[in-house]
Chain A
């Protein structure tokens, strides 16, 4: 994979910002949904859909495409916005999120919207589905790679650890997981609800290769994904340390923003902050 040059990085950062704005607009329009996770993962999604993935938005079922499986389906506003900006479907459709007759379901559903690799939402079952795809790629001797984006909180689920065991046993080197380590879940901080640490050692002892990055540094992510591609006979976990609610100061690191949308006033404030790049510039860009 090519590293990100300066010009591309600027483009990616602008795209991530646009995606964050869209997330706020979508959530305000929908009146329900999750705020913190989608904002926190905007940089990771941007790096994947605009630099890492080998995909073709005009041919979403291209057999040799890389697969991106979103396990914690509740952060789908960031997935939908990324897909729309990448060209899978019109941007205007984003405003139908969670509405009746919409292709943008509250949690992603395969088959209704182009670019959705699988159905998810109930936590803990995305990794094993990604494993199934990785087995298929190996059986068919295909080169495409499978990326699974997971939350930290869903590691409470037994199904996750069954899958972690299985992927280690089967040496699935074509599988890379990016864990959104944002430390929050609905009922509070992960380490209070159900302590997960030491995550690195847990995965390593299950025969995984583990890397840790700043989840808002796209260059680090691209480097980690490249390293994962070079790892032999092991799946790779990239622990992406992220700030939930990133880019909207009053949402950052507050678990109360895990599962609720902004109201009109809050959305206005959030959009102002995003459009002035954290109040670093005077006028709002459009």
Chain B
């Protein structure tokens, strides 16, 4: 059953659940910060509308810098701003930032420990028609291996706003990952968001499997949990919005309670959120794991839902993984 303590969206299982692009929350978070903190600066690389920095740019023109299609310059200018006392946010598609400017981020932001927030948009195959060139499916892996870097993947627009605001209060580099397409709003303003803490969204009396999930697939994991409940299979659904720092305690506790794990992410299975979970469990509490995600392949053009299905991340795929991992116990 849904964890009522977290005050999730009561309409979560209604067919007319409101849908909002997760990236909208980033834009709202920036506006919130802009009003309250004069040190917050935003840099855009010719994508103000689609990365939702447009409203900030209009409201705070002196604190918004358009760098043009130049992600390497964007990251390094932000590094200079960050080490001289500002709190810069840089926004582009994740395939370009942190994709194209990876070394600049590594040296001038992470190693430099510069106070820069990197917003990677258009994550996952749910980007849709633009195709694989614009669908980031490796960004969690490349960012979580960087020393000093923190990595947050919000599950909906409301959580995206909270993650954006939280990032500003962290002194140091942060990577934020956002999806493009409209997706179900599963949380409310009252739902807690604490960096470094996994939230238990769905609980069962005798859970057999813990589903650990991030991003817009959290909603699909909840749908899967509800359907599995009808089949008398109890699961946990854990929203792992903080991939780094990793919440070892909650992951271990979930493994102790269930003895089997399914990880779900719109990202390569290799090196992603599931790998981070596996690293914790292999060390502290070995348990069978099934990984739902991209299997060493690029995406392609198509409707978002159809792509999620084609690449094996649908509600059905999550249910199949749960049943499969139970057999491995």
Contact = CB atoms under 8 A, between A and B. Distances in A.
Interface in A122-165: 122, 124-125, 128-137, 139-140, 158-159, 162-163, 165
B131 interface: no
A140 B39 CA distance: 10
Interface stretch (B105-113, B121-129, B225-233): B105-113
B81 A136 contact: yes
A3 to B, nearest CB: 30
A174 to B, nearest CB: 12
Nearest to A107: B107
Given A135-B77, A139-B63, A159 B72 contact: yes
A125 B113 contact: no
Contacts of A130: 80
B80 A129 contact: yes
B62 interface: yes
Interface residues of B, number: 28
Interface residues of A, number: 32
Contacts of B65: 135, 170
A121 interface: yes
A214 to B, nearest CB: 30
Given A109-B111, A139-B62, A122 B103 contact: yes
B80 A131 contact: yes
A136 B80 contact: yes
Contacts of B77: 128-129, 131-132, 135, 163, 166
A132 B76 contact: yes
A118 B67 CA distance: 21
Contacts of B103: 122
Nearest to B88: A132
B84 A159 contact: no
Nearest to A148: B80
A119 B72 contact: no
A154 to B, nearest CB: 13
A117 B83 CA distance: 8
- Which interface residue of A124, A128, A139 has the most chain B CB atoms within 10 A? A128
A158 B79 CA distance: 17
A108 to B, nearest CB: 10
A120 B65 CA distance: 23
A132 B109 CA distance: 12
Nearest to B106: A122
Contact of B76 (A67, A111, A159, A165): A159
B68 interface: yes
A54 B134 CA distance: 47
B107 A162 contact: no
Given A131-B77, A135-B65, A125 B84 contact: no
Contacts of B72: 124-125, 128, 158-159, 162
A204 B269 CA distance: 50
A4 B107 CA distance: 37
B43 to A, nearest CB: 9
B173 interface: no
A208 B88 CA distance: 26
A118 B83 contact: yes
B73 interface: yes
A118 B111 contact: no
A135 B103 CA distance: 23
Contact of B83 (A110, A125, A158, A165): A110
B82 interface: yes
B84 A136 contact: yes
B67 A166 contact: yes
B79 A166 contact: no
Contacts of A165: 68, 70, 73
B113 A163 contact: no
A208 B233 CA distance: 68
Contacts of B78: 132
A162 B67 contact: yes
Interface in A6-50: none
Interface in B85-131: 85-86, 88, 103-104, 107-108, 111-113
A140 B84 CA distance: 10
Contacts of A109: 111-112
B85 A136 contact: yes
A65 to B, nearest CB: 11
B132 to A, nearest CB: 24
Contacts of A69: 80
Contacts of B79: 118, 125, 128-129, 132
12 contacts: A111-B112, A111-B113, A118-B80, A121-B107, A128-B80, A129-B76, A132-B78, A132-B79, A132-B84, A162-B68, A165-B68, A165-B70
Interface of A: 67, 69, 109-111, 117-122, 124-125, 128-137, 139-140, 158-159, 162-163, 165-166, 170
Given A129-B76, A139-B63, 20 more contacts: A110-B83, A117-B83, A120-B108, A122-B104, A122-B107, A129-B80, A132-B78, A132-B79, A132-B88, A135-B81, A139-B41, A139-B62, A140-B85, A159-B76, A159-B104, A162-B67, A162-B68, A162-B72, A162-B73, A166-B70
